[in-house]
């Protein structure tokens, strides 16, 4: 396994390998950039096939956080942690506390929160060892589960995207295919159904599909066919890598906008989507509602209007990205990356000057 030559290394500032014998902790904390402020991003608990796979995940996710935080207009850098569970190893309070001590040793350079496989209760264990943690259920400025706010950002982005691409102002009768009915997917379906959208859904958990059928009158399709639904909007809200060389030719939606991180299986596939006339809203822009909620907790802000203002800013950004893409002939992804690089470069110049 290589680190500095790793394909996903991309000039990370700091990568920490944290180990604790008694609890069985093996974790990687990756800080990609602190140009805009101390790094913030979730902690994922997962059983990886190899250490290399865990490192790749940490590197890709932390770089993604740099982009997400920058695009969201937050003064936070990009970081992420993964805790590697061995086959059969269970997540325990001791493990989470050991992870908390590893975060504490970074002295505030990285603030952690929930990601896949982690609950607010786990974060409470982390909090017993470090104050550099957010997404807590209780305590001063606690912001709780970020998923509903993520879903609001995705919903609003779909509305903005539909308006910019088709000129339609409302979502009544719009057909949306939602992949993944977890925390974000379900909250997104709630908002879409309330707006009168028609839903087709898929999840690997049959009970979640039954619930969606009962709650929204949704049509249920197989998880490996949802991307091919003949619909207006495809909203990936499950795992990354869903937009691939295999799936893109089968898409029938005009717009893709969803919560899943790293939806493009390869960075350059945005051009393949564009060539098919499909507008892809960059995931790191669209799914930033949750980190905005976490950022309020980090900053100690209790006023809900602060997060609402950030969400409004997100829609201004989506509009600007789509308009710049239209006039420049670039993809929305390329425009969003350009905007992030402009912000990072300006911050770099400021920090050199100050």
Shortest Å, Cβ 247 to ligand NAD: 11
Contacts of 69 (CB under 8 A, 6+ apart): 36, 37, 40, 41, 76, 77, 78, 288, 291, 295
Residues that bind ligand NAD (CB under 6 A): 116, 146-147, 150, 179-185, 202-205, 208, 223, 237-239, 259-261, 287, 290
The catalytic residue among 80, 91, 326, 330 is 80
Report the alpha-carbon angle 50-55-57, nearest 5.
Answer: 100
Contacts of 6 (CB under 8 A, 6+ apart): 55, 56, 59
What three-state secondary structure class fits 47? Answer: coil
Of 53 and 116, which CB lies nearer to ligand NAD in the complex structure? Answer: 116
Shortest Å, Cβ 5 to ligand NAD: 27
- Helix (H), strand (E) counts: the chain: 11, 12
Of 283 and 330, which CB lies nearer to ligand NAD in the complex structure? Answer: 283
Shortest Å, Cβ 222 to ligand NAD: 9
Of 310 and 330, which CB lies nearer to ligand NAD in the complex structure? Answer: 310
Whose CB is nearest to ligand NAD?
Answer: 182
Report the alpha-carbon angle 122-124-129, nearest 5.
Answer: 105
Of 201 and 278, which CB lies nearer to ligand NAD in the complex structure? Answer: 201
Of 100 and 153, which CB lies nearer to ligand NAD in the complex structure? Answer: 153
Shortest Å, Cβ 118 to ligand NAD: 10
- Exposure class string for 275-313: b at 16+ Cβ within 10 A, else e: eeebbbbbbbbbbbbbbbbbbbbbeeeeeeeebeebbee
Shortest Å, Cβ 261 to ligand NAD: 4
- Exposure class string for 34-72: b at 16+ Cβ within 10 A, else e: bbbbbbbbbbbbeebeeeeebbbbbbbbbbbbbbbbbbb
- Establish whether 80 is a catalytic residue: yes
Active site residues per annotation? 80
């Amino acid at each position: 396994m290589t680190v500095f030559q790793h394909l996903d290394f991309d000039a990370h500032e700091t990568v920490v390998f944290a180990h604790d014998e008694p609890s069985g902790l093996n974790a990687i904390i990756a800080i990609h950039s602190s140009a805009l402020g101390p790094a913030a991003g979730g902690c994922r608990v997962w059983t990886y096939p190899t250490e290399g796979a865990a490192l790749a995940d940490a590197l890709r996710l932390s770089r993604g956080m740099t982009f997400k935080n920058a695009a969201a207009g937050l003064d936070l850098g990009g970081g992420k942690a993964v805790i590697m569970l061995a086959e059969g190893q269970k997540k325990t309070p001791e493990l989470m506390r050991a992870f908390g001590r590893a975060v504490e040793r970074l002295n505030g350079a990285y603030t952690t929160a929930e990601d896949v496989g982690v609950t607010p209760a786990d974060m409470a264990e982390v909090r017993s060892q470090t104050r550099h943690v957010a997404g807590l259920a209780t305590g001063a400025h606690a912001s709780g589960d970020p998923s509903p706010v993520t879903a609001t950002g995705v919903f609003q982005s779909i509305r903005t995207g539909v308006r910019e691409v088709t000129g339609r102002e409302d979502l009544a009768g719009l057909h949306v295919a939602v992949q993944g009915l977890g925390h974000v997917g379900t909250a997104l379906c709630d908002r879409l159904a309330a707006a009168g959208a028609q839903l087709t859904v898929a999840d690997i958990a049959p009970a979640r599909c039954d619930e969606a059928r009962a709650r929204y009158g949704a049509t249920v399709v197989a998880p490996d066919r949802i991307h091919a639904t003949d619909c207006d909007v495809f909203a990936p809200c499950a795992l990354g890598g869903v937009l691939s060389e295999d799936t893109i030719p089968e898409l029938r939606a005009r717009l893709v906008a969803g919560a899943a991180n790293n939806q493009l299986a390869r960075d350059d596939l945005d051009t393949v989507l564009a060539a098919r006339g499909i507008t892809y809203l960059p995931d790191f822009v669209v799914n930033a509602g949750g980190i905005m909620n976490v950022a309020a907790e980090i900053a100690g802000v209790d006023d809900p209007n602060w997060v609402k203002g950030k969400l409004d800013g997100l829609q201004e950004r989506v509009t600007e990205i789509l308009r710049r893409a239209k006039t420049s002939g670039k993809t929305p992804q390329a425009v969003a990356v350009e905007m992030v690089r402009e912000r990072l470069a300006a911050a770099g110049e400021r920090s050199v000057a100050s």
